[in-house]
Structure 1
């Protein structure tokens, strides 16, 4: 790895590589803290798999290049990339993870400010050539199809073994709930097949939340991980923000957050209505995400990022998270 990192940094005025240390990871990729003669860098090695063809490196580097202009200082600066080696160098951000218990409105406001900076009229012009986000959805029917595929994939893909019994039972309950929810959302939606107008779409960091943020010593938040970013429905961003598992955002902030996000668009009431309609849809999605560790490709991604992880412990933890979300779903 040291030789590949040296190659990545060869054209940069950072001097010789002094040390390379792996950072703790619970995600999809490997990140290294690289100390060179002149500065400290973050080098990210991106996961590659034959069953997952997404260009994680290109997406993140491209989005961060855009964010450096639209919202300078809010995210790490992109510095260098090597597509052949699936490596990229970024500004190293010093900071600590936020715990759910310490989340306050000031932190949520920082996330709103970042989103709004990415979605000013000038920023949207800068981003006109950026691709859609991973799993972007631009109609209510599209959202339902996306989450429906996840539910069906779990139902068909988790082996029915003794070790998987809790996950299999939960997926059966989830599928029953999903069938009823999808029907209700489809009936409630106005023109569910109509695509969202470009003016109502947003530049989304995707996987947006405090699990992908660091709090610096000066109390400023910096946001990380943009490998799924791009153009998307703001209602999807809202649904993901409030359903993500690692650092849950208090539900009491939902209405204020949605109103602030919606204010960036020409029809804010439509954004608010769609975000409320799709909120339980994205809670189901995150139940599915929690259970992805029972699927081979997703498990391989976790093992790539953290080769020493205990599979059984991880899977038990993820079932508990999925059960917690499932129990919080609204009664139909």
Structure 2
């Protein structure tokens, strides 16, 4: 969008070098060291610290007054839980500085997979099963709900509606690419949402849709879970990004795993993941039916997520993370339209 304001931010690579050096020194990393940006996320600035042959990661979290979720505390706390439980394949949280909105983590070697295989699916399902083998511990019970956690079927449906409403509130119908995005949301996403909602209402009573998911059926979820947040080394996966992690409905984990557009899974791989997850988790027999019912709403939600950059707060997070701003809105609109054509147009 022309004239979009850059976010007010404090860049670790400019203003805070002295503070960063003091922060790292508390954990045995004495200056001088190298510091390089890592393009690994779209919400936080990630920096690679190097000293000799040793490497660490500093993550600088975006935070605005309107931002309700403390991503720094959420990720650091969830990784602390996983490390204390002995879960492998994740970073070790080494230090935290609330005033810098930053945390220090161990470095994980590897590269993101280029092609998803059945072996990757098994490792992903095993990872979720491993996390949840500690779900009854006191430490697990102290963890908060995941971001956008859904504890009823109505909660899933409302997520899609909220995404659409937020976009319509943010978009200007008179401004270039925003006008095109506004038409797409009004003429494609909103009408499909209404049809899907009417279809579900014909199949489920209001009380069924509002019935809360029992605590026994809830799981610990990384939330933003998919192969876009993995690294592979010698065939073994490591898992990244727990800013949104916490308690959630397994149906939402499965739907998001299926819907994630950056490194997608096939229908066969989606079935494999669900089946293998059922081996290690006490999943309800109604889970598959819930996933089938709710998956179109999550597809709609992901169309909205791909348009997040049209909302000022989300756009500022992307800029903070180092995402290229030129052509950003046009690119995201193309992605959202393509996603709609591939997954939702058939439902109209």
Give TM-score scaled by structure 1 length: 0.93
2-side partners of 1:192 and 1:68: how far apart?
37
Residue equivalent to 2:336: 322
Deviations 1:205-262 (A, max 9, x none): 011001111112x121111011000000010011111111211111221222112223
Q: Figure out how many residues of one structure are paired with residues of the other and give that number.
A: 326
Residue equivalent to 1:73: 88
Gaps of 5+ in 2: 1-15
**Compared CA separation, residues 72 and 26, structure 1 to 2 (3 A):** closer
Gaps of 5+ in 1: none
1:283 is aligned to 2:295: no
1:213 is aligned to 2:227: no
**Compared CA separation, residues 17 and 225, structure 1 to 2 (3 A):** farther
Correspondence 1:1-332 to 2 at 5 A = 1-36=16-51, 39-70=54-85, 72-99=87-114, 102-120=115-133, 122-125=134-137, 126-160=139-173, 161-172=175-186, 173-189=188-204, 191-216=208-233, 218-306=234-322, 309-311=324-326, 313-327=327-341, 328-329=343-344, 330-331=346-347
Q: Secondary structure at the match of 1:208?
A: coil
Which deviates the most, 59-68 or 318-327?
318-327
Deviations 1:148-173 (A, max 9, x none): 11111112211112222331221111
2-side partners of 1:186 and 1:215: how far apart?
43
Give TM-score scaled by structure 2 length: 0.89
Does the aligned pair in 2 maintain the 1:2–1:20 contact within 8 Å?
no
Shift of residue 306 of structure 1? 1.1
2-side partners of 1:183 and 1:210: how far apart?
33
1-side partners of 2:215 and 2:63: how far apart?
32
2-side partners of 1:145 and 1:123: how far apart?
27
Q: Secondary structure at the match of 2:104?
A: strand
Does the aligned pair in 2 maintain the 1:14–1:39 contact within 8 Å?
no
RMSD: 1.8
Deviations 1:11-44 (A, max 9, x none): 2133434111111245111011012367310000
Does the aligned pair in 2 maintain the 1:80–1:90 contact within 8 Å?
yes
2-side partners of 1:131 and 1:94: how far apart?
29
Q: Secondary structure at the match of 2:67?
A: coil
Shift of residue 123 of structure 1? 4.0
2-side partners of 1:189 and 1:92: how far apart?
48
